[in-house]
């Protein structure tokens, strides 16, 4: 029973073995998380197009679901900026302004996202946590940040009628700045000021709480709602019931791709957060189990009138900073939000929409990561260009299509790296054992009459042509044909039928020129591959190491100063 719980409900297994010594720390962490989750949940509900109570619903039962099924002790789930932007982008065109349809379609999207995540767990697709590279994910989040910031300008100025595409709406808003509502703008600026000041003077206090409380107090005392300042209005008290979600066949064609993209992006960003805090606290998380946990949380959110959620980095950081030790911290946070929903919703009616816009602008700005983008550009300009393309994809095409752009960029990056792996010609360097790339060592020399060729990747159908071209080019790069080509097989981790046919073809071409082709490394593995695919294992001689190959060809004298035969695996 215990093993079954660890496999399917690792959080529950840990909670059943809960230690009372962790209670105080987890309770403090849970209250700290709730203090952040309440204002952020309300703000993100506004971003996604929901009433404020829906954002709070999404901060209760999904947290409980992850605490039962998840493997991270610190991770807190909830409304997320990127997730909410995708929801609004996917659902708004389908709902066409119908509030009831919007809520129904959002629940369908959350349910589909959860189902996809659970199926991914059974297919062991936790490896997708590494699918979106750092540059692509940074670019996607930068695009989401820009979209969020631009989308809040209408709320903090109260310039009506600037809907539509975010760039078009922003351009219209700039043209109509003279229509700005001064009290609304002043409230937003005051909220900005409170968040900035409290962030510096009271870094442990949730800045969003102070901003919303201060703005609500100003509305209440000054009667600003009577002056045209929009507020949240009455927020219904109580916990949600159970919602029976029915999938609309007509909407599935649009919702399934959006749910798939949502599952990928939310899982990838969630795992970045959970892995970083797991590493900090000295334990491991299980991506496959967390895929299922994310799915369960989304299903629960859909059934309790919530919307799709993801890992929340700010709330996770708050839990860790407050000393949260176990899954119980998330349970205490959920309980605190539930108590607010039941007994403390009355003051929320005075919270101005402009203050929520200010909170979202600050949240969007916190997502912008120019420092990492600069580091990426310094390391690889091509990767930086990919990151910028991902950003433009979100801003120009929208969050939903931006996911597609990110996925396509990830696939193209993978294909580029796999189809064109690095090729090196190896030689010896005086005073250094083994064989090293001639391109990286000015004093390296190739063995006389030999070309030692290293292909740093699998030899399969989509790069076999590149292998053939570069290997043959290496035999004509110098004056005079070499006596033999030694193929370093250690980096060639896999091959297929196309790769073996290409190898056989290259061997025949070189043979016609009087050049021998031999292999070095992975001797047994390559012989097995050749036999399995029906090739003659004696067609190409495979030596155990590069040194064995060089000795067998008697091209150069052996350097007796090298310590042992395994040193030829060293490269630089």
One-character DSSP codes across 486-508 = EEE-TT---B-HHHHHHHHHHHH
> For the domain that residue 469 is a member of, what is the CATH number?
3.30.750.24
CA 333/CA 116 separation, integer angstroms: 27
What residues of the chain score a pLDDT lower than 50? 537, 555-567, 569-572
The DSSP secondary-structure symbol of 445 reads B
Q: Tell me whether residue 253 is in a domain.
A: yes
Confidence (pLDDT) at 556: 42
Q: Tell me whether residue 343 is in a domain.
A: yes
Confidence (pLDDT) at 529: 74
Q: Tell me whether residue 562 is in a domain.
A: no
Closest to 360 measured CA to CA, from 168, 85, 165: 85
Among 395, 415, 435, which residue terminates a domain?
415
Return the exposure string of 357-379: e unless at least 16 CB atoms fall within 10 Å of the residue's CB, then b.
bbbbbbbbeebbbeebbeebbee
* 542: phi then psi, degrees, rounded to nearest 5: -115, 120
Among 392, 415, 438, which residue terminates a domain?
415
* Runs of H (alpha helix) within 17-131: 23-48, 52-57, 61-69, 81-95, 99-122
Per the structure, how many domains does the chain have? 2
Please count the other Cβ atoms lying within 10 Å of the Cβ belonging to residue 324.
Answer: 29
The answer on 543 and 407 residing in a single domain is: no
Task: Give tens-digit pLDDT for 125-139.
Answer: 998 888 778 898 889
Confidence (pLDDT) at 7: 86
How does strand 423-429 pair with strand 432-437?
antiparallel
Domain that holds residue 528: 423-557
The answer on 381 and 433 residing in a single domain is: no
Within 8 A by CB and 6+ apart from 264, the residues are 128, 131, 132, 403, 407
Confidence (pLDDT) at 488: 94
CA 286/CA 12 separation, integer angstroms: 15
The answer on 488 and 378 residing in a single domain is: no
Confidence (pLDDT) at 392: 93
The answer on 441 and 385 residing in a single domain is: no
The answer on 474 and 407 residing in a single domain is: no
Contact present, 402 and 143 (Cβ < 8 Å) = yes
The answer on 438 and 371 residing in a single domain is: no
The answer on 327 and 291 residing in a single domain is: yes
The pair of three-digit structure tokens given for residue 122, joined into one six-digit string = 């059974």
Q: Tell me whether residue 45 is in a domain.
A: yes
SS3 at position 254: helix
The answer on 459 and 359 residing in a single domain is: no
Contact present, 91 and 109 (Cβ < 8 Å) = yes
The answer on 139 and 24 residing in a single domain is: yes
The pair of three-digit structure tokens given for residue 89, joined into one six-digit string = 């982008």
Mapped to the 3 state alphabet, what secondary structure does 352-384 carry?
EHHHHHHHHHHHHHHHCCHHHHHHHHHHCHHHH
Which residues sit opposite 424 in a β-bridge?
A: 454
How does strand 423-429 pair with strand 310-311?
unpaired
Return the exposure string of 380-391: e unless at least 16 CB atoms fall within 10 Å of the residue's CB, then b.
eeebbebbbbbb
Q: Tell me whether residue 568 is in a domain.
A: no
* 51: phi then psi, degrees, rounded to nearest 5: -70, 155
Q: Tell me whether residue 356 is in a domain.
A: yes
The answer on 217 and 101 residing in a single domain is: yes
The residue whose two tokens read 């994910």 is 137
Task: Give tens-digit pLDDT for 201-247.
Answer: 888 778 888 899 999 999 999 999 999 999 999 999 999 999 989 88
Q: Tell me whether residue 569 is in a domain.
A: no
Confidence (pLDDT) at 75: 93
Among 415, 438, 457, which residue terminates a domain?
415
Q: Tell me whether residue 131 is in a domain.
A: yes
Q: How far are the Cα atoms of 137, 269, 312, 319, 563 from residue 315, in angstroms, in the given order?
A: 20, 14, 6, 6, 54
The answer on 464 and 367 residing in a single domain is: no
Which residues sit opposite 425 in a β-bridge?
A: 453
Contact present, 22 and 326 (Cβ < 8 Å) = yes
Contact present, 413 and 130 (Cβ < 8 Å) = no
The answer on 445 and 324 residing in a single domain is: no
CA 61/CA 305 separation, integer angstroms: 10
């Amino acid at each position: 029973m215990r093993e079954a719980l660890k496999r399917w409900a690792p959080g529950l297994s840990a909670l059943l073995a809960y230690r009372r010594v962790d209670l105080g720390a987890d309770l403090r962490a849970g209250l700290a998380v709730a203090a952040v989750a309440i204002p952020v949940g309300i703000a993100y509900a506004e971003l996604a197009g929901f009433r404020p109570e829906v954002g709070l619903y999404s901060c209760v039962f999904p947290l409980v679901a992850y605490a039962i099924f998840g493997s991270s002790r610190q991770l807190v789930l909830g409304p997320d900026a990127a997730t909410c932007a995708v929801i609004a982008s996917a659902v708004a065109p389908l709902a066409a302004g119908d509030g009831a349809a919007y809520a129904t379609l959002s629940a369908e999207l959350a349910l589909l996202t959860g189902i996809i995540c659970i199926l991914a767990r059974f297919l062991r697709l936790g490896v997708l946590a590494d699918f979106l590279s750092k540059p692509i994910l940074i670019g996607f989040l930068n695009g989401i940040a820009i979209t969020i910031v631009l989308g809040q300008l209408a709320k903090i100025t109260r310039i009506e009628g600037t809907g539509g595409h975010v760039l078009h709406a922003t351009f219209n808003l700039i043209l109509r700045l003279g229509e700005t509502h001064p009290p609304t703008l002043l409230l937003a600026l005051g909220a900005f000021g409170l968040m900035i000041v409290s962030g510096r003077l009271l870094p442990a206090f949730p800045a969003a709480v102070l901003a919303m409380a201060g703005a609500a107090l100003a509305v209440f005392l000054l009667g600003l709602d009577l002056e045209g300042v929009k507020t949240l209005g009455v927020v219904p008290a109580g916990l949600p019931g159970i919602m029976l979600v029915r999938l609309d066949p007509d909407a599935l064609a649009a919702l399934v791709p959006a749910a798939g993209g949502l599952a990928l992006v939310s899982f990838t960003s969630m795992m970045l957060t959970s892995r970083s805090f797991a590493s900090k606290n000295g334990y491991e998380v299980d991506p496959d189990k967390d895929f299922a946990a994310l799915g369960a949380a989304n299903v629960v959110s859909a059934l309790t009138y919530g919307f799709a959620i993801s890992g929340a980095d700010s709330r996770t950081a708050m839990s860790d900073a407050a000393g949260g030790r176990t899954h119980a911290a998330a349970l205490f946070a959920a309980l605190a939000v539930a108590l607010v929903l039941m007994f403390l919703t009355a003051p929320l009616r005075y919270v101005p929409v402009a203050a929520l816009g200010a909170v979202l602008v600050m949240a969007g700005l916190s997502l912008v990561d120019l420092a990492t983008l600069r580091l990426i550009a310094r390391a690889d300009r091509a990767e930086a260009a990919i990151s910028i393309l991902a950003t433009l994809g979100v801003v120009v095409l929208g969050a939903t299509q931006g996911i597609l752009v990110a996925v396509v960029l990830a696939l193209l990056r993978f294909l580029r790296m796999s189809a064109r792996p690095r090729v090196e010609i190896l030689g010896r360097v005086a005073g250094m054992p083994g064989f090293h790339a001639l391109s990286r060592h000015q004093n390296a020399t190739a063995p006389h009459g030999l070309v030692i060729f290293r292909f740093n990747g699998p030899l399969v159908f989509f790069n076999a042509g590149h292998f053939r071209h570069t290997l043959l080019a290496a035999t004509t790069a110098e004056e005079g044909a070499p006596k033999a080509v030694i193929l370093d097989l250690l980096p060639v981790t896999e091959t297929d039928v196309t790769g073996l046919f290409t190898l056989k073809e290259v061997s025949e071409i070189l043979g016609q020129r009087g050049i021998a082709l031999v292999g070095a490394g992975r001797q047994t593995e390559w012989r097995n591959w050749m036999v399995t695919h029906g090739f003659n294992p004696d067609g190409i001689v495979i030596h155990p190491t590069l040194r064995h190959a060089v000795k067998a060809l008697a091209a150069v004298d052996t350097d007796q100063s090298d310590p042992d035969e395994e040193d030829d695996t060293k490269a630089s």
